[in-house]
Structures are given as C-alpha cells and as structure tokens.
Amino acid sequence: MTSNGEEGRVALVTGASRGIGAAIARHLLGRGIRVAGAYRSWRDPVAELATQRPGQVLPVHLDLAAPDTLAAGVEEVHQHWGRLDTLVLNAAVWDGGRLTRMDPDAWWRVVETNLRGTAALVRAAIPHLVTGQNPSIVVVGSVVGEIGFAGDTAYASAKAAAVGFARSLAKELASKQVRVNVLAPGFVDTDMTAAVPAGSRQAIVDATLLGRFGSVDEIARAAVFLAEDATFCTGTVLTADGGWSL
Ligand SMILES: NC(=O)c1ccc[n+]([C@@H]2O[C@H](COP(=O)([O-])OP(=O)(O)OC[C@H]3O[C@@H](n4cnc5c(N)ncnc54)[C@H](OP(=O)(O)O)[C@@H]3O)[C@@H](O)[C@H]2O)c1
C-alpha cells in the first residue's frame, strides 16, 4: 500500500538498470508501487529485480535515441498493468569537453538524445497519467543545468532545458492534477562520475558543504518525495547537492 492509501499504482522509471535509476526503482517498490524498470542496453539487473519481486517489476526496453522505442515501451507498460501513475525521467547520456574542443555532432547528440527523448516519452505517457492516482512526473535534471560547469555546455544545456520543459508542462497538466517536478542532484557516486579524475573529484568534494559525493539512496529518497509525498508541489526544482551550488 502506498503512502496515500492507494494500492497497485504503477511507476515507469527510465535508466533503472543502474545508478540513481536503480535506487529509485528499489525505493518505489519499498513504498508498494509496481515498477516498470526501463533499460537501454543492460537488461540483467532489471530482470534480476523482477525475479526477486514477482509481479512487481516489468523490464522494459527504452532508448532515448530511438523515439519508436519510447511510445512502444509506454504502451507495453499500459498493456501489462492497465495503468501508469508515475513517470520518473532519470535516464540521460553524458558527453563532455570544452565547447571549442567538442565535436559539434557529439555536442548535439547529447542535447538531442536527452531532450528529444524526454519529450517523446512524456508525450506517449500523458494520456495514461491523466487517469492515474496521485499522478506525477519527476524529471531528473542536474545542478550543472542551473549554475554551469566547465566542459559541460551540451549536458548543462539539456539539463537547463529540462527545467523550462518541466515548468511549462506543470502548467499544461495542472488542470488534470498531474504534478511535474525536477530533481537536481549534485555529484553522486555512480558510473557517470566514476571517470572523474582524482584531482577534480577532490576539488568537488572540497566545494561541497557536506564534504562528499552523494549516494544513490539519498537521491532516490528525494525523487520518491517528489513523486509520492510532495502533493502540493508542481513546477518546483529540488536541489540535492550537499550544498555544492551555494
Ligand atoms: N551521477 C551524478 O553525479 C549525477 C549528477 C546530477 C545528475 N545526474 C543525473 O541523474 C540521472 C542518472 O544518472 P546516473 O549517474 O545514475 O547515470 P548512469 O550510472 O550513467 O546510468 C545511466 C542510466 O541511463 C540509461 N541510459 C543511458 N543512455 C540511455 C539512452 N539513450 N536511452 C535510455 N536509457 C539510457 C542507462 O541504461 P543502460 O545501463 O541499459 O545502458 C542507465 O540505466 C541522469 O539523468 C543524470 O544526468 C547524475
């Protein structure tokens, strides 16, 4: 049973194979919510979770760079469970480098994959969300979309756009009681940050008030708060960065 007493609700979480998305999936399951766990290339972790939680997890293939898979994935979830109440847009690609050194096609691939994929997925999900219970969309952005980071012009552009996207969508969907919020993490220990050189990592830790990287569970708890508990929040950006951006 969920926090608001509604049973059998369904969430679709993108990028559920690892990192923050896998943690969000686990925490939603802990709240009694069934999870469609979307993966791009690594199905095994989601399939394993489905084995551990029979009837509670549906592995779904979605590739942000392949728009056809997005609508098909949403329909697969709806056909399987007959509903969709929550959408967590967590998957993202990262590629970086100073603007003058980054290949223009690679630059646009980051922006396009993240932004176009997000919009296409939401477009397919809206008809189902509007009939959901406590329906909401959580967009996982990033603090670098708010304050910038050298070497991140493409990624930060996509993350900044996600805020304008979410706030506009919040206005479009308010009459249907669908809440749309953004979670903006700082630096978190995942595969995405594993390649940060030791010197840069120490500089980030030094600039973070809490003096460390965040954990995936800390970010997942914030995501579940927005998705489930923040019933009077829409169009908000919740920063979870240990004070790095202050
Ligand atoms: N880690 C951080 O410090 C940090 C900070 C701020 C914001 N964020 C944001 O938090 C979210 C999760 O980050 P993370 O660190 O957990 O990432 P991660 O460890 O790199 O995992 C990325 C996830 O996204 C999926 N994915 C990648 N490309 C995809 C595509 N084209 N289509 C569909 N799925 C795709 C991957 O699926 P497969 O495994 O199947 O390939 C994987 O599940 C992202 O939006 C990221 O921008 C992260």
Confidence at residue 6, expressed as pLDDT on a 0 to 100 scale: 52
Domain 10-239 has CATH 1.10.150.170: no
Regarding the beta carbon of 157 and ligand 1, being less than 6 Å apart is answered no
pTM, to two decimals: 0.97
Per-domain residue ranges for the chain?
Answer: 10-239
To 5 degrees, how large is the angle CA 144–CA 18–CA 47?
Answer: 150
User: Probe ligand 1: pick from 40, 111, 137, max atoms within 8 Å of CB?
Assistant: 40
Protein residue with its CA nearest to atom 7 in ligand 1? 142
CB 192 within 8 A of CB 140: no
Ranges of residues in the chain with a pLDDT under 70 are 1-7
Confidence at residue 4, expressed as pLDDT on a 0 to 100 scale: 43
Confidence at residue 150, expressed as pLDDT on a 0 to 100 scale: 94
CA 31 – CA 194 distance, rounded (Å): 29
pLDDT tens digit sequence for 216-230: 999 999 999 999 999
Spatial neighbors of 215 by CB under 8 A, at least 6 apart, are 188, 189
pLDDT tens digit sequence for 78-88: 999 999 999 99
